[in-house]
DNA sequence: CTGCTTGCAAAGGCTTTGCAGAACA
DNA sequence: TGTTCTGCAAAGCCTTTGCAAGCAG
C-alpha cells in the first residue's frame, strides 16, 4: 500500500476518533494540517489545500477549522488581533510571535517556567493559559 | 478652581508630555480613560464619551486610541480575537480574561513569576510578553 | 431516504480610509 | 494661512450565515 493511502487512513481514523465524519474535504484539510506541527491561518490552509483541481470553499475551510478546534484536534491561538491562527499541536505550550514577519514558533515546555497566581477571581477557574513572547527583528 | 478643571489640566499636560496636541476630543477621551486603571474596547470608550450632547465620532475614537497606543499612553491588548482592548495602565503586567463575561482583570506582578527562555529565534529580540489566563465561571 | 455537508454569495462586526470642512498654531 | 484634526460615509478584512444542491450512512 502507498504511503499516501496509509496517511489518508490514519487521518480518517483520527477524525473518527474525535467524533468527526470524515468527508473528503475534511480529510484533505486534516492531512495538510497534521503533516507536521505548524501554525496556520485560515488563508494559509486555503492555499495549501487548493493547489490542485478540486477546490475546497472558503466557508468549508472556516467551518472545518472551527469544528476541529471544538473537537480538540486543533488549538485556536489569539496572538494577532487581525486573524486567527490554528495550531496543529494541542499539547500545552507557548509561543514566540514575530509581528514583522508574522512567523510563529513554539517555546519548548522546559525552556519556560510560569508560576500562576493562587488567587483567582471569585467563582472562576482556569480554562487555559496563553503566553506569547512578541519579537521584533534585531537592528 | 474646580476638580474638573484640575483634572482637565493634568490630562492636557499628560498629552503634551507625550507629543500629542490636546484637542477637545482627545482630552475628553483621555479623561475617561485615565480616570482609573481599566480595560476598554473602542465601543466602550465611545459609550463613555458620548453620554452628553457633544458626540465624538467613531472614526476619531479609533484614530485617537491608535494614536495613544502608538505614543505609549495606552497598551493595546490581544486577548480576544473579536475586538481590541486598550489598557489604561501601561506598566508591565498580565491579565485574567473571562470569556463568558468578557471581563478582564489585572494579575499583580508579584502574584506571578515567569522565567523566559534564554534562546530566542535567530536575529530577534523581545518586544513584549503578553500572558493571558483565560477563565470560565465555576459550575 | 434523512440528515449532515458543501459551496456560493450575502451579510456581519470591527477597524481603517478618503475627503471636505473645521480647528489649531 | 498652512497644517493638523474631525466627522461622515464608504470601503476593507476576516469570519459567519442562509440556503439550495450534494453526499454519507
- Determine the pLDDT at residue B74: 96
Residues of A in contact with B128 (CB under 8 A): 134
Identify the residue whose cell numbers are 478582564: B104
Q: Work out the pLDDT band at B1, boundaries 50, 70, 90.
A: low
The beta strand positions in B4-102, using DSSP E, are 39-41, 75-77, 85-87, 94-98
Count of beta carbons in the 10 Å neighbourhood of residue A115: 10
Give the span between the Cα atoms of B99 and A99, in whole angstroms. 25
Is pLDDT of B21 > 80?
yes
Cβ atoms of A75 and A69 within 8 Å: the answer is yes
Q: What is the pLDDT of residues B50-97, one digit of tens each?
A: 999 889 999 999 999 999 999 999 999 999 999 999 999 999 899 999
Q: What is the mean pLDDT of chain A?
A: 93
Do B55 and B22 share a structural domain? yes
Cβ atoms of B70 and B53 within 8 Å: the answer is no
In a domain, A78, yes or no: no
In a domain, A84, yes or no: no
In a domain, A79, yes or no: no
Do A68 and A7 share a structural domain? yes
- Determine the pLDDT at residue B108: 86
Residue B127 domain boundaries: 91-135
- Determine the pLDDT at residue B110: 85
- Determine the pLDDT at residue B32: 96
Q: What is the pTM of this model?
A: 0.92
Residues B21-25 have a mean pLDDT of: 96
Give the span between the Cα atoms of B39 and B59, in whole angstroms. 20
Closest-CA residue of chain B to A109: B117
Residues of B in contact with A99 (CB under 8 A): 127
- Determine the pLDDT at residue B109: 82
Amino acid at each position: 500500500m502507498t504511503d499516501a493511502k496509509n496517511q489518508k487512513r490514519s487521518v480518517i481514523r483520527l477524525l473518527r476518533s474525535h467524533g468527526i465524519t470524515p468527508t473528503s474535504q475534511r480529510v484533505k484539510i486534516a492531512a495538510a494540517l497534521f503533516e507536521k506541527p505548524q501554525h496556520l491561518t485560515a488563508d494559509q490552509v486555503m492555499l495549501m489545500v487548493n493547489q490542485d483541481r478540486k477546490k475546497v470553499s472558503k466557508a468549508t475551510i472556516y467551518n472545518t477549522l472551527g469544528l476541529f478546534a471544538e473537537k480538540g484536534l486543533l488549538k485556536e491561538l489569539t496572538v494577532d488581533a487581525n486573524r486567527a491562527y490554528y495550531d496543529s499541536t494541542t499539547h500545552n505550550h507557548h509561543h514566540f510571535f514575530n509581528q514583522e514577519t508574522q512567523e510563529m514558533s513554539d517555546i519548548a515546555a522546559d525552556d519556560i517556567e510560569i508560576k500562576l497566581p493562587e488567587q483567582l477571581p471569585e467563582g472562576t477557574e482556569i480554562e487555559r493559559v496563553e503566553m506569547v513572547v512578541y519579537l521584533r527583528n534585531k537592528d
